[in-house]
Amino acid sequence: MACIAIVGVGAIGGALAGLLETAGRHELTLCTRRPIEALTVHTPQGVVQVKAQNVTDPTAAPAVDWVIVATKTYDSEGAAKWFPALCANGARVAVVQNGVEHRERFAPWVRSDRLLPVVIDCPTERRPDGTVMVRGDTLMKVEDNQLGQEFTRLFAASPAKILLVDDFTSAAWWKLCINSVGALCAITLQPDRVLWGEAMTCIAMEMVAECVRVARAEGAQLDDTMPDQVMALCRAHPADSVNSLLADRLAGRPMETDARNGAIVRKGETHGIPTPMNRMAVALLQAMENSAL
């Protein structure tokens, strides 16, 4: 058994809480801004009622063995306010967030040897009534080291699949390639079916191609078929699938533009690689976000 705190109980955090509850041998703490009376997670295997203590004051949080950060990337500083209490006994911190900058984002607050970046693929959404709907299987990828192996054991009795990978850089950039085209859904305010038309498919594939070029400069091993792979995955989703960037825009919440397409642009600049499609997407999303303020 392990004492585990989840910081950020949105769609992903709720899904992870449901998986850990299914494992059936952990003591869970949900760290949230507002009180949660109950957490119900609907999964392909059935309905899970999460049994956990809920803490809303970072100074009152208990010391735990593991902290799982599932906040939005732009709320990393807010998540770090929980660390002094939660990590009082040297807890390990798993960062389950979008993008490729997990370590850079949390370097000011977590020692590198205690931080584990996690890439997750989990089709889930937080409903208006506070319940979490998980629509498919959960796959996570972590580094094949001691921390990664310990993290994997936390979910051993759950339906989650966790891959221990030697090349986490490639795994993170592979996911960012997929996430990059979600900007087109957020811009058009349409679900995945907007990507199926010929014109939008061409734009999406060029966005992925830019991401691949930057990823390779960062040391990732991605091949030239990546744009085709991403579009095949998009067409395999239900036509009405809503990615998190679009969901945030529809709900009037801040978007993770900087951690997704913004990271492609910024790291492209570092290597002298042009990223005009992703740059345009960032500019449009930022302008839309600013006009809503």
Answer for the pair 265, 251: CB distance below 8 angstroms, yes or no. no
Query: CB neighbours of 109 closer than 8 A, spacing ≥ 6?
Result: 80, 83
Residue owning tokens 């850990």: 20
The three-state secondary structure class of 124 is strand
Q: Tokens for 79?
A: 């998540």
The three-state secondary structure class of 33 is coil
Q: Tokens for 231?
A: 């579009």
Q: Tokens for 239?
A: 């036509």
Beta bridge partners of 119: 141
- Say how many C-beta atoms besides its own lie within 10 A of residue 185's C-beta: 24
Is 175 among the catalytic positions?
yes
End-to-end CA distance of the chain: 45
Residue owning tokens 């945030």: 248
Q: Which of 51, 81, 141, 175 is catalytic?
A: 175
**Cα–Cα dist 23/255, whole Å:** 32
Q: Could you give the residue numbers annotated as active site? A: 175
